[in-house]
Chains A and B, each alone.
Chain A
Amino acid sequence: MPAVGARPGLSSQVSKGSTSEGRLSGRQDMSSVLQKPPAPTRQLIRQKRRPSYLPWLLLSASMILVGVMTGYPVVRLLVMSFQEYERAQLMGQPAEWVGLDNYATVLTDVEGFWTVLARSFALMVVLVVTTLVLGMLVALLMIRIGKGMRLLVSVGLLLAWAMPSLAATTVWGWVFDTQYGVVNNLLTAITGDRWFGHSWLLNPWSFFLILTCIVVWGAVPFVAFTLYAGLTQIPEEVMEAAQLDGASAFQRFRLIQVPYVRSIITVLVILSMIWDLKLFTQVFVLQDIGGDRELTNTIGVYVYQMGMAQGHYGLASAIGVIFVIVMLAISYPYVRRTLREEEL
């Protein structure tokens, strides 16, 4: 989809007229420079067409929706995080201001909050690295194999990609089921030991192993397709020249392919970090199927447990605020990068 996002230099030049062209000049080329100044008729049309309130009128619906459904909840979250807000307050008792008490409680809770946060980050690192490495290997594989095989692999990846994460989680839960799961069955057949009755979800380590399988299985296709698209852009002569000069496959990978797709890799890493840190559905449902919630909570699920399940709304709000700050900090380079790329 190369056309999308690429702003034609000519149109942006013409459209900006003389008012603000310095600020927003698109990717211009010679032709657009030569086309200036625009024909007078066009400018006339343009002036007639733009009452200054019109763009704001068009934006008003979005601003109301985002303001009411995202802005207001953020403010409300902040307010609640400074209040004592428990089940009683839900029933109508006035909420008392407690200053930073909720934050103090959360930030000194090593067993609870810090453990969950550290676990979420550790899990994120494992997930991002595994996803990226496997995605890159699959992308390289797709370049190397013939057309028929590539189609086969693509079909498989697309199916995995399209599966809703909730449905996928239940399926993996069934594959690793304690009593009748196919994994226990096959392990019994292969090793000769009896694996029936072995629970994969009770032990937190194997719980996270299966969680990793689920998430990586669902995330690799996107990474692989994106990297594959990037790798196919590398001119063939470059690779051939390197090969003739005696570069090994690994050297070609390290010195040519990786630098070519470096910016794609950066974006993929940041996006994966964001998605993997706010993991909810897979963890939550896997816990339903048979995990120990205490030992397997990640930050998103922890907010739910603290607030919705246990009724400590004030504390949960404080955790929520911290969560938002962490996510914004992680997204910051991505937002900046996007703005720069779009030349805004």
Chain B
Amino acid sequence: MIKIRKRAADAWFGVLALIVFVFSVFPVYWMLNTSFLPNNRIRGENLAFFPTPDVFTLNNYRAAMFGEARAPFPPAVLNSIGVTFLTLVIALVVGFLAALALTRFSFKGRRTFIVLILVVQMIPGEAMIISLFRIIDGWQLLNTIIGLTLVYSAGVLPFTIWTLRGFVNGVPKELEEAAMIDGCSPAGAFWRVTFPLLAPGLVATGVFAFIQAWNEFVMALVVMQRPEAMTLPLWLRTFVQATQATNWGAVMAAAVLIAIPVVVFFLIVQGRMTGGLVSGAVKG
């Protein structure tokens, strides 16, 4: 009796699990599905649930990249790559130096600095768009990659410092000290022993800085207003903003193009970052 009841319960939980799966995946599946369908199958009353070979098309991607969009695609890609790459480099280098200071040294003001980092991380960028806009404008950096990079670097820096600090703390200092006793200079011991052990942490932190900069929308909206200065999120927005009927096939293709790098990188590092996210984090 008990066995049968347990099996029935198992079946129910299996069904629940399937429901969770379907609900999680459906929007992603629907995005991909629509992006490969021709317009007459998208705007029809009989739905196409799969882009079968007879209807499969890449026209939406063509339309998204070279078509009617109000902002051109190629500069948007270049802007996004430029801003993301620069942000990544600056945040990692600057954040790493700070993380070193906070973990390998004890000095007056260390705790104050850490508190400051935590507090700064809690200040919402959304609240400061007005003054940031005026400041960037005053420096003549509106619509420039440098302007947006500055905003982004400062934005991801607290998170970068915090996460890298955790990673550096995870490498026992004894390893370094052993190398020093064996004749390494302090710097040499750090570069030869600790740094290689930190590489995975640097990669994971870098990927998260990448994802945040790549996805960021609000600051880009304020700083990059000209069509040719737009980053990919702003470019995607121009599709749904249009007053005429939205070309959903192209929008979904555009969404796929933006999401692919993020999803790929995210899947690479997610396991490593769950804990880091719990201990003080910004969501992308």
Interface of B (DSSP majority class): helix
A55 in contact with B170 given A158-B270, A221-B24, A264-B278 (CB within 8 Å): no
Question: Does B240 lie within 8 Å of A289, measured CB to CB?
Answer: yes
How far is it, in angstroms, between the C-alpha of A217 and the C-alpha of B24 when the chains are bound? Answer: 7
Most chain B CB atoms below 10 A, which of A10, A65, A171, A274:
A171
A180 in contact with B43 given A5-B166, A73-B135, A77-B128 (CB within 8 Å): yes
How far is it, in angstroms, between the C-alpha of A341 and the C-alpha of B31 when the chains are bound? Answer: 42
* B132 interfacial by beta-carbon distance below 8 Å: yes
A285 in contact with B240 given A58-B98, A274-B122 (CB within 8 Å): yes
* B199 interfacial by beta-carbon distance below 8 Å: no
Question: Does A167 lie within 8 Å of B258, measured CB to CB?
Answer: yes
Cross-chain contact of A141 among B16, B30, B270 (Cβ < 8 A)? B16
Most chain A CB atoms below 10 A, which of B25, B107, B273, B284:
B107
Could you tell me how many residues of chain B have their Cβ less than 8 Å away from some Cβ of chain A?
118
How far is it, in angstroms, between the C-alpha of A342 and the C-alpha of B109 when the chains are bound? Answer: 16
A152 CB, nearest partner CB in chain B, Å: 5
Question: Does A80 lie within 8 Å of B130, measured CB to CB?
Answer: yes
Stretch at the interface among A103-111, A232-240, A250-258, A317-325: A317-325
Q: How many A-B residue pairs have CB under 8 A?
A: 342
Can you show 18 pairs from A to B with CB atoms below 8 A apart? A52-B107, A61-B98, A145-B17, A155-B25, A156-B20, A156-B22, A159-B25, A162-B270, A167-B256, A170-B239, A170-B252, A174-B252, A182-B30, A226-B274, A288-B240, A303-B129, A319-B127, A320-B130
How far is it, in angstroms, between the C-alpha of A74 and the C-alpha of B20 when the chains are bound? Answer: 43
Q: How large is the interface on A (under 10, 10 to 19, 20 to 34, 35 or more residues)?
A: 35 or more
B271 CB, nearest partner CB in chain A, Å: 8
Residue of A nearest to B241 (CB): A288
A179 in contact with B236 given A162-B266, A324-B123 (CB within 8 Å): no
Question: Does B258 lie within 8 Å of A164, measured CB to CB?
Answer: yes
Cross-chain contact of B123 among A70, A142, A156, A188 (Cβ < 8 A)? A70
A323 in contact with B126 given A5-B279, A164-B215 (CB within 8 Å): yes
- Flag B33-64 by CB within 8 Å of A: 1 or 0 each: 01000000011110100000000000000000
Question: Does A73 lie within 8 Å of B131, measured CB to CB?
Answer: yes
Question: Does B181 lie within 8 Å of A41, measured CB to CB?
Answer: yes
- Flag B214-245 by CB within 8 Å of A: 1 or 0 each: 11011001100000000001001101110001
How far is it, in angstroms, between the C-alpha of A196 and the C-alpha of B86 when the chains are bound? Answer: 46
